[in-house]
A and B are shown apart, each in its own frame.
Chain A
């Protein structure tokens, strides 16, 4: 019997390598018959991996938006159909975008969270002249050196995140003459954010104490916490993404550290997961479920009714992006990407469920809109598992230009290739 199995350590290693390859490939979408009646939109977002938890909110919200659009007459009277796929990683994202455009003839692509995948999708979109709306990639480079005529951004850029929460840090005296220490996610998003964060903190008199790049698969932060404890910073800046933020917050509380915490990138689902007493600090968000406007209240109610939990900020991005496309197509009576881009660039206004309407800035295709800084409530003030923070008023304030928090031309400039 023993001789029959040709199993060696060598083949074990080979198969392990093979599995690593195979796991990157996921099931192809079912081939759908082409029908003239439906308009298809492609939706790509990470649904597995460390950004997967946020991707699920994105998918739920896009589904809800499509449902509402179809209930109110669809697009140009035609039914809207959403093709949803797990983008997995930048390579797979690009392959799937290609397939959605060439085989499924989607009118446009919406979605994504990873800045690295945004770029590969945008390259495919640009080459095929199909509109792509980024709903979750933050890096400034996507709106700067890597900007594309066919890519628009509903998600705020890192500069907007930094400047909106930065105001809270300045107000609380955590910047000028203070020592800050940061942990940075080791991929496109983190690197970009660290650069923008440094520019802001140094510009406002903060002293940089140190930074650690964190591999995206790290789960244990004890080694980093020992370093932070030793450095005794006045502010710990967490520029991590996905479930890592949750892990960090849980372990920060576990180690009993009390230095003020904040971050320049954030998602409310991560605060919900960290739990009462573990969630601390001040963080920026593009939107949250406690915003007191009729639009937001309706969205929260509809989402909660459908999914029995409130939406988080990533849900807002994909919901709003889908609605923006519907508005454009219905007004233009066309799904032609070139026409939609013209419409966006001319400064069309959109309802973003906030106090003010927003628009895409023509120079870099960034959505101009209000943001918020949320601060963790102390454990004894928390009434339920969702309402775990208090919010700043909208940033920029009512009398300010919406562009006040966006990157200036000097900080980040974009030239569209012709």
Chain B
């Protein structure tokens, strides 16, 4: 019974990584940029919630903070990322690594290093019983929002003209160019969506995690693991990997091997890469081979 609860909780836990990992995967697939600053946008989302909530309430900052982070993402794409699409990827890695450090130090200088006090708004507190499984109401809400975002993103990528261009751009940007379609605005939109999702994760997790300057670092490593396990360019690969990582962590704690719960996800990554070097559902993308 407890194990069943742990399995379910582990899967739900994986959903949080998903919001970060999807954007990471999207930006990498399209622009070839490994965005090490992705965690920083998550942190900025959380700090914005803290700042905006007294004025807008949690509901208001739930809308405003991710929008602001998405806008910031678009500005950074326009001013910085676009210069690096065609250069050595090491350079963009250094760029985003630098951005992550600047963002973290800026948060530390403005807000101080101690974690900030922020709680779940009263109307989202409490427990719900799903059969005999009692779970936090806030987490149920959180998971529903995350699921809605994932579905929305999938529809956008698979069922709209916008998504068709983006997917074509992932596979063969030169051919897209030859067809007379400029990828530039699509790149900006994808950066805004991906980074906005990280900001949204920051808003959603601020009430249950600590808001502190290094919070981005905490989440970026597992998110990278998810992307690597899932496979580049694969939407469902990332989804499956996020759930799998959550599951492995949860079950390791559940069966009493909590000390190895972090190590286990790296072991999982190692095994996946050994047997499926492109990740679980990774597509063969010519330019990354």
A residues at B contact (CB < 8 Å): 1-2, 4-5, 7-9, 11-13, 15-16, 19, 22, 47-50, 52-57, 186, 212-215, 217-220, 222-224, 226-227, 229-230, 243, 246-247, 250-251, 253-256, 269-270, 272-278, 309, 312, 385
Contact = CB atoms under 8 A, between A and B. Distances in A.
A250 B287 CA distance: 45
A9 B112 CA distance: 38
Interface stretch (B58-66, B208-216, B234-242): B208-216
A54 B131 CA distance: 42
Contact of A220 (B13, B119, B172, B263): B13
A48 to B, nearest CB: 6
Contacts of B23: none
Task: Give the secondary structure class of A's interface.
Answer: helix
Contact of A52 (B36, B119, B212, B249): B212
B117 A273 contact: yes
B118 interface: yes
Interface residues of B, number: 68
B25 interface: no
Contacts of B114: 53-54, 56-57, 269, 272-273, 312
B218 A223 contact: no
Interface stretch (B69-77, B89-97, B160-168, B189-197): B89-97
30 contacts: A2-B172, A4-B86, A15-B34, A15-B89, A50-B214, A53-B113, A56-B112, A56-B113, A214-B259, A219-B218, A220-B13, A220-B209, A223-B6, A223-B13, A226-B5, A226-B6, A246-B210, A254-B120, A254-B136, A254-B138, A254-B208, A255-B127, A255-B136, A256-B126, A256-B127, A256-B136, A272-B114, A273-B116, A273-B117, A278-B119
B113 A55 contact: yes
Nearest to B282: A9
Contacts of A215: 258-259, 261-263
Contact of A273 (B10, B88, B210, B219): B210
Contacts of A270: 115
Nearest to B120: A254
Interface in B216-249: 218-219, 221, 224, 228, 232, 249
Contacts of A272: 114, 117
B13 A7 contact: no
Contact of B174 (A2, A223, A251, A277): A2
Interface of B: 2, 5-6, 9-10, 12-13, 16, 32, 34, 36, 86, 88-90, 93, 97, 104, 108, 112-120, 125-127, 134, 136, 138-139, 172-174, 207-214, 218-219, 221, 224, 228, 232, 249-250, 253-254, 256, 258-259, 261-263, 277-278, 286-289
A256 B125 CA distance: 9
Nearest to B113: A56
Nearest to B258: A212
Contacts of B208: 247, 250-251, 254
B259 A49 contact: no
A5 B287 contact: yes
Contacts of B112: 56, 309
Given A9-B232, A48-B214, A222 B13 contact: yes
Contacts of A255: 127, 136
B10 to A, nearest CB: 7
Contact of A9 (B115, B173, B259, B288): B288
A52 B214 contact: yes
